[in-house]
Structures are given as C-alpha cells and as structure tokens.
Amino acid sequence: MELWLLGSKSVLLLFIGYMLYGTPHDESFRPAYMLVLLTYTCLSFGIPPLRRIRHASLALSALSAALGVYGALELHPLFLLLAVPNLYEAASGLGAANWQSAVAMAAAALLLPAGDRPLYALAAALCFMLYVSTCRLHARLALREEERDKLQDDARRLTRALADNEEYARQSEYTIKLEERGRLSQQIHDEIGHSMAGALIQMEAARRLLDTNRAKAEELLGNAIVISKEGLERIRLTLKQSKPPAEQLGIGRLQLFVDELSAKHDIRATLNYAGDLDTITQLQWRIIQANVTEAVTNSLKYGGAESIAVEVLVLNKFVKAVVRDDGRGADKVVKGLGIVGMEERAASEGGTIIVDGSRGFSVTTLLPVRAGS
C-alpha cells in the first residue's frame, strides 16, 4: 500500500514539476516552487517509517496536505493536486468512510479557479480509485495473512497433538505389555503354582515313606507325576492361548505396513485378502512380508505411482501375494538385485515370482500350499 501511495505522489510531483518548469512561468517564483516541491517530498517519504506511530503519521499527512493548499493559494493552483493523496491518507487514518473522503476532495475543488477544476477532478478521481483499490487489496492481504497464521497455528497444534498421540501410543503399548506379563504371571501362579507345590509335597512325602511304606510311596509318586503332567499341559495351553495365530500376525503386520505407507507417503495404499489364511505358514508369511516390502520400495523409487494395491489370496494349491501400482511400468523388465532377491526367497519354499510391467507394475509371489497346513 505504501508503494502505491508513494507512486501516486511521485507521478503528481513529476507532472507539477513539468508544468511549472517545462512551460513558461514567472521566473521569480521558481525558487519558491522548488522549496515547496522538496519540502513536500521530504514530508511524503517521512510518512511510511512513522506509519506505526498513528499521531505522527497523521500529523505529517495533514502537514503535507496543508503545504499543498498553501502552495495553491500563494504560488500556483497546481499545488493543490499535492494535497489529494495526503487528504486520503489523513481521512483513512481518522477512520473516515470512502464517500466522506470523496466529498472532502470535491469541496477542495472550490479553492481552485474554474479553469483548473477539470484537471483537479481528474487527479482526485484517479487518486480516489487508486486509494480504494489499494485499501481493498491491503484488507485482502491482511485477511490472507490472518488465515495463514491460523493455518500455521493449526499445523503446529496438530503436530504437537500427533507427537502426543505417538507418545501416548508408545506408553499404551508398554502398559499393555506390562499388563499382559502380569496376567500371565498371575495365571501361571494360580493355575500351575499350586499344582506344582502339591506335587513337590507328595514327592517329598514319598521320599520319606520309600523305606517304610513302599506301596504308599509309589502311590504318592504316581499322584505327583499326574499333577506334574497336568501342570505342563496347562503351561502349554496358557502359552498357546497367549500367542496369536500365525495368520493374525502375518496379516496384521501387512495391514500395519500398508497403513504406515499411506500415512508417510502421498500415495493411496490398500490391502485385500481372501481364502483360508490358516494354511500360510510362518516362513511363508515372512517371505510374503519381505517381497511386499521390496516391491513397494521399488514402486516408490521408480514407479511414480499414485496408488498401490496389496492382495493376499489363498487358492487351492497356491498362496498368491500381489503388489500392483498404477505407475509408469516398463516394456522390458530388467531384473535387479531386488527382483533376484524376491525370486530366491520364493524359491526357498518352492515358489516363484511373476513380474509384469505392461499396465503399471506388478509383482506376484506364488507359494505352494503345504499339505496338512
């Protein structure tokens, strides 16, 4: 806004200087003309640095306008043109409406001779349009800055909230692990500890009766053996119930990987699965996880894809894991270390890899379904 106002004042100064010095005039007034023009220039360029000091900037604007009026009354009517932008500045600083500023400019025209009024009206109209446009632009920029500051505050708040959520997630995970350990300890103590203590008591009693009452000792030892077997079975069942099934671990890791992929990269990632996942062994899940990770990494590096789809299908004789993107693809697929590594992992379980670059890029891992899985 300051540059526009200074620009309008500079144009008026150049115009008045040309009219006063480029056309014939009374030579005796020329020093006074120069004094008024230089004084006005100093006052005008002193206003922007004092803009934050409201009273000082208003005083300079009023003084500049008064100088223009004085020059018009005492020296030449053209000097009244210098008062136009300063009157707009003063009116803006006082909070006057645009129409009030326009009325003030029209009233100032009465100070001029009738022959100079059209030129003044033209200058006043141009300055008024420039002033209104600049004010609106300034208000729009202020609104944009306010919105930007608000967005930055929201971004900082969301960043802090995300960091807090991540910390909360870590604490929750740690707490859940502690609770699970406590539950297992309590369950083993309640269900197995007492049984083992009873078995030890009976074995100790059998040891004492071994020489005096062998039959009773054998009976006690038999009871202790039964109790110990039951305790071991309970331990096995407890651990089995605590350990999640292989299919839950495998598909859970893949789902977590896909979710992190969508969160950390500007890409759409989906996971679909079908069939009896129980038939997939732990080793096969590790191969699928490694091959999916390698294929997704290649898509991010070279494919230029916007979406990546991961599928795990259990068919009659094969487990099929597919990673497909909508990137550039390749007419001729060159096997690098990544693809060779995927082939070696699949071959270790009797499987194979199919790579297709015709429509996007896809990597299919085929693993045989193990009998009895």
Alpha helices in the chain (DSSP H): 2-21, 30-46, 54-74, 80-93, 98-108, 117-188, 194-209, 214-242, 246-264, 282-298, 337-347
pTM assigned to the model: 0.44
What pLDDT, in 10s, does the model give residues 204-245? 888 888 778 888 888 888 888 888 888 788 777 777 666 555
pLDDT at 160 over 70: yes
Give burial (CB, 10 Å; 0-12/13-18/19+) of 141. exposed
Residue 289 has which token pair?
């996880």
The CA-to-CA distance between both ends of the chain, in Å, stands at 77
Helix H or strand E segment including 204: helix 194-209
Residue 273 CB neighbours (<10 A): 17
Residue 267 has which token pair?
């890409």
Of 172 and 311, more confident: 311
Question: Residue 368 has what pLDDT?
Answer: 92
Q: Averaged over 316-344, what is the pLDDT? A: 85
Place of tokens 């979710």: 259
What pLDDT, in 10s, does the model give residues 202-212? 888 888 887 78
Residue 351 CB neighbours (<10 A): 22
Cβ atoms of 91 and 100 within 8 Å: the answer is: yes
Q: Where are the beta strands (DSSP E) in the chain?
A: 268-274, 307-314, 318-325, 352-356, 361-368
Bridge pairing between strands 268-274 and 307-314:
parallel
**Closest to 68 in 3D by CA, of 22, 115, 108:** 108
Residue 343 has which token pair?
């082939």
User: Which value, in Å, is the radius of gyration of the alpha carbons in the chain?
Assistant: 44
Place of tokens 């020329």: 30
DSSP-derived 3-state class of residue 49: helix
Distance from C-alpha of 83 to C-alpha of 142, rounded to nearest angstrom: 27
Of 149 and 249, more confident: 149
Rounded to the nearest 10 degrees, what angle do helices 54-74 and 30-46 cross at?
A: 160
What pLDDT, in 10s, does the model give residues 90-99? 666 555 566 6
What pLDDT, in 10s, does the model give residues 22-47? 655 556 667 777 887 788 777 777 66
Rounded to the nearest 10 degrees, what angle do helices 246-264 and 282-298 cross at?
A: 10
Question: Residue 54 has what pLDDT?
Answer: 59
Residue 193 has which token pair?
């500890």
The alpha carbon of 157 is separated from its chain's Cα centroid by a whole number of angstroms, namely 11
Give burial (CB, 10 Å; 0-12/13-18/19+) of 344. exposed
User: In the chain, what is the greatest distance between 2 CA atoms, to the nearest angstrom?
Assistant: 149
Q: Domains in the chain, ordered, with CATH?
A: 2-112 (no CATH), 246-368 (3.30.565.10)
Distance from C-alpha of 60 to C-alpha of 178, rounded to nearest angstrom: 73
What pLDDT, in 10s, does the model give residues 127-140? 777 777 777 777 78
Residues facing 319 on adjacent strands:
314, 367
Instruction: Indicate the average pLDDT of the chain.
Output: 78
Distance from C-alpha of 315 to C-alpha of 256, rounded to nearest angstrom: 24
Question: Residue 235 has what pLDDT?
Answer: 77
Sheet of 361-368: strand order equals 268-274, 307-314, 318-325, 361-368, 352-356
